[in-house]
Amino acid sequence: MRTYIVTGGAGFIGSAVVRELIDNSKHRVINVDKLTYAGNLDSLKTVADSSRYQFVQADICDAVSMAKVFADYQPDVVMHLAAESHVDRSIDGPAEFIQTNIVGTYTLLEAARAYWQQLSAEKRERFRFHHISTDEVYGDLHGTDDLFTETTPYAPSSPYSASKASSDHLVRAWQRTYGLPTIVTNCSNNYGPFHFPEKLIPLMILNALNGKPLPVYGNGQQIRDWLYVEDHARALIHVANTGAVGETYNIGGHNEKQNIEVVRTICALLEELAPNKPEGVARYEDLITYVTDRPGHDVRYAIDASKIAAELGWTPQESFETGLRKTVQWYLHNTTWWQRVLDGSYRQVEGRDEEGAMDER
């Protein structure tokens, strides 16, 4: 049995990792989360009572707290997912992204290094620091056949992606300079159950169910590669357990779709699964509204995930069609979860924008 520290374990991807570890392994999981607006412990109710699960509310930027977490729980693996991740929010207020994504990663790396250096030789050999990042660090692709590989040069477009690129560089530098056994993964757009409603897919589902406009940036022809979150969680754990130190692995869903195609597919699924529409709505597609494009909006992302398939034997289980159907069904069957997010009752501290801006990721 290993002990995993999962930072950001109350977030969308982090909670999927925690659930996967508790439900399908015998490992112990320490969830370290500050519980900012996107952290939601409701997403972990099914595992909260497990004797192998422990929640610690702490800020990764707090060096004293991080040192205590390492000393108290003696982890074998760190899976670092804690991050500010909303592009629109980074444009409106980049300071938080610099602090959490860059300073927070630095602070966590230093805590991990101090802990790792005092371990026995055997435990040092087993220890891993797995940094979870994004394909947005690569910028965008304009050709129809180009793909992001692990050697694609970084060209981030937004404060969010620039801060994540910075954190990736720090992780690799700590491996090269200090020998800390790190691994980096860069993923494509995630979707699935428990996704915070400001993101594109849940926002479209919930707005449609409530008869609200479905805001689509620009002409809606931006292309993203979509990865089902539970596939991603399985990939992350597999990389943490079997990936080579110092390596980078791109994780993608092999599902390139235009944003407008995603929205229309959601509308079609709702026509089938939720035919009783809000008053005044004839077709869900009638709610689609084109809005001014965001500054610096990337045109196309697409991941080449051949390395992780060839070297580690991982491929996604879900197609976009099966994954999106499961996602829509989940939101239809779990109204309490998203209603508590929308009315703010999932957290005691107020301050969330109830409408939410659209974001693909």
> Is 154 a catalytic site residue?
no
pLDDT score, position 144:
66
- Residue 227 near residue 253 (C-beta atoms within 8 A): yes
- Residue 225 near residue 303 (C-beta atoms within 8 A): yes
Considering the candidates 138, 160, 191, 284, report the single residue annotated as catalytic: 160
CA dihedral 190, 191, 193, 199 (to 10 degrees): 100
3-59 pLDDT tens trace: 999 999 999 999 999 999 999 999 999 999 999 988 999 999 999 999 999 999 999
pLDDT score, position 160:
94
- Whether pTM exceeds 0.75: yes
Q: How confident is the model at residue 359 (pLDDT cuts 50, 70, 90)?
A: very low
pLDDT score, position 348:
59
Percent of the chain with pLDDT over 70: 96
Q: What does the pLDDT average to over 245-267?
A: 96
Task: Report which of 105, 98, 104 is spatially closest to residue 171, judged by C-alpha positions.
Answer: 105
60-91 pLDDT tens trace: 999 999 999 999 999 999 999 999 987 888 89
Q: What does the pLDDT average to over 271-285?
A: 97
Q: What does the pLDDT average to over 242-258?
A: 95
Domains in the chain (CATH in brackets) are: 3-192+228-254+300-317 (3.40.50.720)
Calculate the CA 264 to chain-centre distance.
23
Task: Report which of 249, 264, 252, 265 is spatially closest to residue 301, judged by C-alpha positions.
Answer: 252
> Is 136 a catalytic site residue?
yes
306-357 pLDDT tens trace: 999 999 999 999 999 999 999 999 999 999 999 999 999 997 543 333 333 3
Mean of the per-residue pLDDT values of the chain: 93
- Residue 121 near residue 56 (C-beta atoms within 8 A): no
187-239 pLDDT tens trace: 999 999 999 998 899 999 999 999 999 999 999 999 899 999 999 999 999 99
Structure tokens at 284: 């869900």
130-147 pLDDT tens trace: 999 999 999 988 766 789
> Is 160 a catalytic site residue?
yes
H or E stretch covering 165 = helix 159-178
Q: What is the C-alpha separation between 244 and 234, in angstroms, rounded?
A: 17
Considering the candidates 42, 84, 88, 136, report the single residue annotated as catalytic: 136
Considering the candidates 33, 42, 59, 135, report the single residue annotated as catalytic: 135
